Amino acid sequence: MTEASAPVQVSRHAITFVLITVFLDMVGFGLIMPVLPALIEEVGRMDLADAAYVGGWMFAAFSIAQFAFSPLVGNLSDRFGRRPLLLLAIFGLGADYLFSALAPTIFWLFVGRVIAGVCGSSYVIANAYIADVTAPEDRAKAFGLVGAAFGVGFILGPAIGGLLGEFGSRVPFFVAAGISVLNLVYGWFVLPETLPPEKRRAFEWRRANPFGAFRVFQSYGQVLPLCAVLFVYFFATAVYPAIWPFWGMAKFGWSEAMVGLTLAAFGLVMALFQGLGTGPAVARWGEWRVCLAGLVIAAVVALGYGLAGSLSVVLVLMVVHGPEGFVHPMLVAMMSKEVPEDAQGELQGGISALMNVAMLFGTVVFSQIFGRFMQPDAAFRSPDVGYYVAGVVLVAAVLMFLALTRRPERR
């Protein structure tokens, strides 16, 4: 490794701050999930099936905003450094939480989701920051820690949202706004810059516009097969944010608190697998095989949720679901090795754009499937159809991964 490509040395406080930032992004995403169905029903004066339609479009608005701004943020960080962009995103996210807490109508809830999507692009910079400070061979483990931070955020976000939702649907957002302010103050004092001036590059609009972000995949064609798998994978797994709360309420009669607790359990399993299992799994089997195993499990479990007949079965499936948490960090780590160090921000922006397009289509498709098959006049009325469709799409992702990527030699 040359001196120019050596990772920047930073304090543990800086890495901790980045992980906390990712964690808080996921907390904010998870906060709204348990209270969203009831909030939409209350504000929009509609039933659960219609609320699912609206909820899907809200998540789509979030994804569109991330798609539009993630490449811009990633490229700006390649030009001006990681620190100022990350702090700005955290400030905006705190403002969004406060805005959402005060939103009076469905329209303003949509506006809040757009702001959340714009500011939620902070994880793009966080990934680039991690790439700056870790050697290429250590990035799978590092991205696993980022995934674990997502998982822990997904534990506390829905749990906080569900429990605080008992005191009012707005309360969780006020709490999240306060936490974001504390994180901003903490980061101001402990976060160093990791991209020195000699490694920065001129900003170009053609690279930063949403569709131009995909040029990174054209420039580094080796990542295209992995991008195709990533797109299909995220399209299918959009079923969870799209319908999980609505599905639990419709099928099992869950309360907001129960929705939050199940999502917390889901996040706990993912965090344990990603945080404790990524490094050992990669060391033993390699990134390719770990990714394949995660994709296979993702397909099996999605079909399993559709067939589940009780909460106990759902909880068992959550435990089995854990290795799916390896898929995203493995794909990102494999792609990051194919691009130079001065393009890591651009790559992460492109990956984020791809993920958000997939999530955009996925949330709309699966929320519409749920709403349609829950209407009183549906020929086949069931809350489970979305999971069956997701399972079939994930089987396709497994086949794509086998067909489009090269199986490494056994060690």
pTM of the model: 0.73
Q: Is-contact 123 329, C-beta < 8 A?
A: no
pLDDT at position 350: 78
Question: Is the sign of the CA dihedral 167, 170, 175, 178 positive or negative?
Answer: negative
Other C-beta atoms closer than 10 Å to the C-beta of 322 total 21
What pLDDT was estimated at residue 320? 94
Contact indicator for 125, 77 with CB cutoff of 8 Å: yes
Q: Following CA atoms 236, 383, 273, 344 in sequence, which dihedral angle do they give, to the nearest 10 degrees?
A: 30
Question: Which residues touch 262 (CB under 8 Å, ≥6 apart)?
Answer: 158, 244, 248, 254, 311, 314, 315, 318
Q: How far apart are CA 339 and CA 130, in angstroms?
A: 15
Domain 12-193+225-404 CATH assignment equals 2.170.190.11:
no
Q: Is 202 exposed, middle or buried (0-12, 13-18, 19+ CB in 10 A)?
A: exposed
How do the pLDDT tens digits run along the chain, 411 residues long?
A: 444 455 555 556 667 777 777 787 777 667 777 887 877 887 787 888 888 888 888 878 887 887 777 777 767 777 777 788 888 888 877 887 787 778 788 888 888 788 777 776 666 777 777 777 777 777 767 777 777 777 677 778 888 888 887 787 778 778 878 888 887 887 788 777 766 676 777 766 666 666 766 667 777 777 888 889 999 999 999 999 889 999 999 999 998 888 888 988 887 888 788 778 888 888 888 888 999 999 999 999 999 999 999 999 999 999 999 999 889 888 888 888 777 776 777 787 778 778 878 888 998 999 999 999 998 887 888 999 999 999 999 999 999 999 988 776 554
Q: What is the pLDDT of residue 314?
A: 94
Residue found by looking up tokens 């004092």 in the block: 189
Return the SS3 of 327. Answer: helix
Q: b/e string for 73-87 if b means 16 or more Cβ within 10 A?
A: bbbbbbbebbbebbb
pLDDT value of residue 10: 55
Q: What phi-psi label fits residue 168: left (phi over 0), alpha (psi between -120 and 50 degrees) or beta?
A: left
Q: Is the Cα torsion angle 76, 345, 68, 204 positive or negative in sign?
A: positive
Integer Rg of the chain from CA: 20
In angstroms, the CA 371 to CA 386 distance is 10
Name the residue ranges covered by the structural domains of the chain. Answer: 12-193+225-404
Alpha helices in 308-383 (DSSP H): 311-321, 327-336, 344-373
Confidence at residue 4, expressed as pLDDT on a 0 to 100 scale: 47
Q: Mention every residue, 6+ apart, whose C-beta is less than 8 A from residue 172.
A: 31, 32, 35, 160, 161, 164, 165
Cβ–Cβ under 8 Å, residues 166 and 56: no
Contact criterion met (CB below 8 Å) for 245 and 294? no
DSSP letters spanning 133-188: HS-GGGHHHHHHHHHHHHHHHHHHHHHHHHHHGGG-TTHHHHHHHHHHHHHHHHHH
